[in-house]
Structure 1
Amino acid sequence: MEGPRLPPSAAAHESDDDKPDDPPSVWHRPTSSLPSLPFQDPPPHHWRNHSLDFSSIPTTPLSSLAPPDSIPELETYVVQVPRDQVYWTPPPDHAKYVEKRRKNPEKNKKSGCSKRLMWFLIILIAFGFILGAITLVLHFAFNPALPVFAIEKFSFVPSNFEVTLKAENPTSNMGVSYMMRKNGVVSLTYKDKSLGRGKFPRLSQVAMGSDKISLKLNGSTKNAAMPPSGSKLPLSLVLKIELKAEYEAGPVKKNKEAAVTCDVKVKGLLDAKKVEIVSENCESEFKN
């Protein structure tokens, strides 16, 4: 009587196993490479003797396993440096100075402000010194000289005096313009008594220039105690002129107020003849 018939696959496996010379299957793993398993009861008999059943093997979490020895990772950096650049290390003193500035930022700010203020004052003082030097040079280089006047002719007609003056500008590097000063006057007096009054016409002269100017004064001799007619004694008269003088040489300009006083002695003034000038002397001065 025959027993139960096995499946074809099982029979095939048994036939294959009976061959001792056949090599083991490729997918079988040597038992020596498997990790040691905890002790447990042998698995129940299975009708497939040569099949592997891992369902009963307990799974061990990966976290409980001992980690392998860590292998340090090596990092590689690639630095490209241009050939035309040269890198140099600053001296240690520079690093100390930078560190000092980092530790005291408020002090650095104060020192920076004080340094800027100091440089501003130095520049201001230098500018003032330069300006003062330029002013001093201009003062001595362009210094107006007092004008020179002289009486060349004196005449008298009824109610008018005519005086011819010679005016000279002795300043060698500046031209000058003369005009009447505000509220100024040209007056002729005899013993502090007014004989005539008039105006000074505008006159412009170049440097070292000389010109003649004629003055007309309105007045008479009635208000003054004059000597009797026919007297040969000279009369002492005083001519006063108040002027404004403007000197100029390119961009340099200077304004002066000048007062001219002329003492003149004449004969023949009361005889209505030709008046003779016995002596004359004119002096000038600047009022500012």
Structure 2
Amino acid sequence: MEGPRLPPSATAHESDDDKPDDPPSAWHRPTSSLPSLPSQDPPSHHWRNHSLKLSPTPTTPLPSLPPPDSIPELETYVVQVPRDQVYWTPPPEHAKYVEKRRSNPEKNKKNGCFKRLMWFFIILLVFAFILGAITLILHFAFSPALPVFSVEGLTVKPSNFEVTLRADNPTSNMGVSYLMKKGGLVSLMYKNKSLGRGKFPKMSQAASGSDKVDVKLDGSTKNAVMPPRGSKQPVSLVLMMELKAEYEAGPVKKNKEVVVTCDVKVKGLLDAKKVEIVSENCESEFKN
């Protein structure tokens, strides 16, 4: 591989000028335009190894930098900047709506009243629906059942009768109190003839309760045509009661009018103080 080209020496240039037949080189400049070059020694044997040193170490020391100037003392300044003011401009649709409402104040007033009335009726309907639902639930949840009566004994005295009854309350979630209906009576009859009348004593029963009650009736058998003494034929009597039943379960209260009719067949009505009951059947019904 050849080494780098060296610039042509002055001798060589002169020798070329002595040959007028040779044409001058196209890339060479005239000798007079080239600066004088210093003389160079031929490259040493290991010139490529020296050429690989891309960053040669400088031989001269770098000049030392001057010491930095002292930092001046900082001063504090308070700058007051006014707060940014943001202005909001509503869209033009809002302006049109406001103008429309201003142009028809009477219509807007009527619309407002109509809306208020509509909301009032809606709230009223909702309230009525809730109240009806609660009433319906309470009606089915707290529905009183008819009381059940039965005749267990009958005692005849010179001036009155004493009837022993058993009263059962089949309502499982409501207690009941029995009172005499205004103008009502308890009567014992034989062939549509009254033998005695009286009043039912006030009595209270718990839910699913069962109690005995004695009812006294003023009267006698003297004014009635009865079978002769010693007759073994049963006598049919009818006991009727008109009562007022008040059912209660906490805040829930219900009032009912109860009519009780008992068909009773007895023996020894005139011969013994305590009459034998052959059969009995009582039926109850609500009047309201």
Under a length normalisation based on structure 1, what TM-score does the superposition of the two structures give? 0.68
8 A contact 2:157–2:273 mirrored in 1: no
- Number of the residue aligned with 1:155: 155
CA distance in 1, matches of 2:274, 2:110: 88
Alpha-carbon distance, 1:199 to partner? 1.2
Alpha-carbon spacing, 1:97–1:187, altered in 2? closer, same or farther (3 Å)? same
SS at match of 2:230: coil
- Number of the residue aligned with 1:228: 228
8 A contact 1:149–1:167 mirrored in 2: yes
Instruction: Count residues with an aligned counterpart.
Output: 208
Post-superposition Cα deviations, 1:24-55, rounded to whole Å, max 9, x if no partner, equal: xxxxxxxxxxxxxxxxxxxxxxxxxxxxxxxx
- Number of the residue aligned with 2:259: 259
- Number of the residue aligned with 1:67: none
Alpha-carbon distance, 1:228 to partner? 1.1
- Number of the residue aligned with 1:219: 219
CA distance in 2, matches of 1:195, 1:135: 45
Post-superposition Cα deviations, 1:185-225, rounded to whole Å, max 9, x if no partner, equal: 11100000011111111000111111000111111111111
Alpha-carbon distance, 1:80 to partner? 4.0
Which letter maps to 2:172?
S
8 A contact 2:148–2:170 mirrored in 1: yes
CA distance in 2, matches of 1:249, 1:92: 65
Alpha-carbon distance, 1:134 to partner? 1.3
SS at match of 1:275: strand
CA distance in 2, matches of 1:152, 1:88: 93
- Number of the residue aligned with 2:142: 142
Q: Which sections of structure 2, spanning at least 5 residues, go unmatched? A: 1-80
- Number of the residue aligned with 2:94: 94
Which letter maps to 2:270?
L
Which letter maps to 2:252?
V
Identity %: 78
8 A contact 1:184–1:243 mirrored in 2: yes
Q: Which sections of structure 1, spanning at least 5 residues, go unmatched? A: 1-77
SS at match of 1:233: coil
Alpha-carbon spacing, 1:276–1:104, altered in 2? closer, same or farther (3 Å)? same
- Number of the residue aligned with 2:103: 103
- Number of the residue aligned with 1:204: 204
8 A contact 1:161–1:196 mirrored in 2: yes
- Number of the residue aligned with 2:243: 243
8 A contact 2:169–2:209 mirrored in 1: yes
In the alignment, does 2:131 pair up with 1:131? yes
CA distance in 2, matches of 1:80, 1:181: 87
Which letter maps to 1:186?
V
SS at match of 2:265: strand
Query: How do residues 177-188 of structure 1 correspond to structure 2 at under 5 angstroms?
Result: 177-188=177-188
- Number of the residue aligned with 1:43: none
Alpha-carbon distance, 1:144 to partner? 1.1
Question: Aligned-pair RMSD on alpha carbons?
Answer: 1.9
CA distance in 2, matches of 1:150, 1:108: 73
Alpha-carbon distance, 1:95 to partner? 3.1
8 A contact 2:187–2:198 mirrored in 1: yes
8 A contact 1:157–1:272 mirrored in 2: no
Alpha-carbon spacing, 1:110–1:218, altered in 2? closer, same or farther (3 Å)? same
CA distance in 1, matches of 2:84, 2:256: 76
Which letter maps to 2:129?
F
Which letter maps to 2:259?
A
Under a length normalisation based on structure 2, what TM-score does the superposition of the two structures give? 0.68
Which letter maps to 2:242?
E
- Number of the residue aligned with 1:284: 284
SS at match of 1:136: helix
8 A contact 1:149–1:282 mirrored in 2: yes
Which letter maps to 1:177?
S
Alpha-carbon distance, 1:141 to partner? 1.2
- Number of the residue aligned with 1:165: 165
Alpha-carbon spacing, 1:124–1:273, altered in 2? closer, same or farther (3 Å)? closer
